[in-house]
Homo-oligomer: A and B are copies of this chain.
Amino acid sequence: MQNPVFIPGPTNMPEYLRRAVDIPTLDHRSSAFAEMLAPAMAGVRAVLKAATSEVFLFPSTGTGGWEVAISNTLSPGDQVLAARHGMFSHRWIDLCQRHGLDVEIVEAPWGAGLPADRYEAILTADKSHRIKAVLATHNETATGVVSDIAAVRRALDAAGHPALLLVDGVSSIGSMDFRFDEWGIDIAVTGSQKGFMLPPGLAIVAFSPRAMAATESARLPRCFFDIRDMAKTNAAGLYPYTPPVGLIHGLKLASDALLAEGLDAVFARHTRIASGVRAAASAWGLSLCAQSPDLYSQTVSAIRTPAGFNATEIVTRAARVYDTAFGTGLGELAGKVFRFGHLGQMSDLMALSGLSVLEMCMADLGLPIRLGSGVAAAQEIYRATAERTLQRAA
């Protein structure tokens, strides 16, 4: 466990956040806990640019967060609109179907962004407003594709459609720009183990006032995930059950740290690191899964290997021989891509070390790449920007 990980989450954790989470037992009915909870929620609101939202922190995961979103706002048989263009958008659709929702699925290539134009057409056609919610995956972790949430909002507005806009920001929030209020998002979902650089264990969700209002009429059964209980107890600094005190304490410190660095600086840092990784891929003659530069994720790069080559072998070899973890391709991308996670805690040095290991694996496996070539391409990017980044911080 001596090398950093390059999976697209859980991310590497800074020691100060690990320590913030690992605290002795604290009475969760004490004022000390209440004094952690309120700023943790406020921090999340600031990171999401969601001033008007209510934030909820469930002892769960991002998947639990999806369930929070739908079970608190929808009723059995409700129609929802969703695009499928990667494993995680696929899974959210599956979750909706298993809750008895009627999902209108817009299929798109894995590597494409969310097709806002097709959303607009469908919403415009839905004159009776049978569609109650629109799902959008901001950053498809499986493909390394970021989608334009503002465009989804524009589609809703152009159609004059009242459906709620539910956004999966699991692998974007905290590392890439996210504008809950400006984009007119109704529910955003993330987890503790991504941009907040904490251990897994928290579903972090924000509800707009419209989403809060929808909870009253929603008929899907829920109890553990019921935000009515959560909202009522949270207001008194309490929880409806035993809260994950350490993670909430960690979340307070994580959001403090992101805000202290400055969100723009955080996003620029991830863009800079990601640019180096993409330059390396290009130097190796490999292309990204993401179809065009505007779709490039700043938190994860899914890199395609040549036809006939099993990309998973790279990941397996890196783990077995070089003790280093990368992500494999998922679903229909299995064997076609490997993934380099550069979200959360990542430095120039760390990114270069990950690229070095990938080069050794690819050479070992007979891919025609030149050792050091990807590293050199990333070094050029990092050299060109390191000094400027320092100056900006000063």
Q: Does A78 reach chain B (CB closer than 8 Å)?
A: no
Q: Which residues of B contact A24 (CB under 8 A)?
A: 1, 12-13, 15, 18
Q: Are B323 and A347 in contact (CB under 8 A)?
A: yes
Q: Are B199 and A246 in contact (CB under 8 A)?
A: yes
Q: Are B360 and A382 in contact (CB under 8 A)?
A: yes
Could you tell me how many residues of chain A have their Cβ less than 8 Å away from some Cβ of chain B?
95
Q: Does A147 reach chain B (CB closer than 8 Å)?
A: no
Q: Which residues of B contact A243 (CB under 8 A)?
A: 200
Contact with B along A24-43 (1 / 0, CB 8 A): 11111110000000000000
Once the chains are docked, how many angstroms separate the CA of A380 from the CA of B226?
48
Q: Does A61 reach chain B (CB closer than 8 Å)?
A: yes
**Using a CB–CB distance below 8 Å, which chain A residues touch chain B?**
1-5, 7, 9-15, 18-19, 21-30, 59-64, 66-67, 76, 94-95, 98-100, 191, 193, 199-201, 220-226, 240-247, 319-325, 328, 345, 347-350, 352-354, 356-357, 359-360, 363-364, 370-376, 379-380, 382-383, 386-387, 390
User: Which B-chain residue is minimally distant from A7 (CB atoms)?
Assistant: B27
Q: Are A99 and B28 in contact (CB under 8 A)?
A: no
Which one of A29, A30, A241 has the highest number of Cβ atoms from chain B below 10 Å of its Cβ? A241
Q: Are B322 and A386 in contact (CB under 8 A)?
A: yes
Once the chains are docked, how many angstroms separate the CA of A303 from the CA of B352?
22
If A1-B26, A26-B1 touch, whether A379 touches B363 (CB-CB below 8 Å) is yes
Distance to closest chain B CB from A68 (angstroms): 9
Q: Are A356 and B370 in contact (CB under 8 A)?
A: no
Q: What are 19 A-B contacts defined by CB distance under 8 Å?
A: A1-B26, A4-B349, A7-B29, A15-B24, A21-B22, A22-B22, A27-B319, A59-B60, A62-B241, A66-B224, A200-B244, A201-B244, A201-B247, A321-B390, A322-B348, A352-B353, A360-B386, A372-B374, A375-B375
Q: Are B23 and A1 in contact (CB under 8 A)?
A: yes
- Ranked nearest first, the 3 interchain pairs of A and B with the lowest CB-CB distance are A372-B372, A372-B376, A353-B353
Q: Are A347 and B2 in contact (CB under 8 A)?
A: yes
Once the chains are docked, how many angstroms separate the CA of A7 from the CA of B32?
15
Q: Which of B13, B225, B379 contacts A360 (CB 8 A)?
A: B379
Q: Which residues of B contact A61 (CB under 8 A)?
A: 59, 224, 241-242
Q: Are B2 and A350 in contact (CB under 8 A)?
A: yes
Q: Are B319 and A30 in contact (CB under 8 A)?
A: yes
User: Which B-chain residue is minimally distant from A283 (CB atoms)?
Assistant: B372
Q: Are B347 and A359 in contact (CB under 8 A)?
A: no
Q: Are B10 and A18 in contact (CB under 8 A)?
A: no
Q: Are B383 and A59 in contact (CB under 8 A)?
A: no
Q: Which of B27, B201, B223, B383 contacts A67 (CB 8 A)?
A: B223
Distance to closest chain B CB from A283 (angstroms): 9
Q: Are B25 and A5 in contact (CB under 8 A)?
A: yes
Q: Which residues of B contact A27 (CB under 8 A)?
A: 5, 7, 319, 325
Once the chains are docked, how many angstroms separate the CA of A382 from the CA of B28?
27
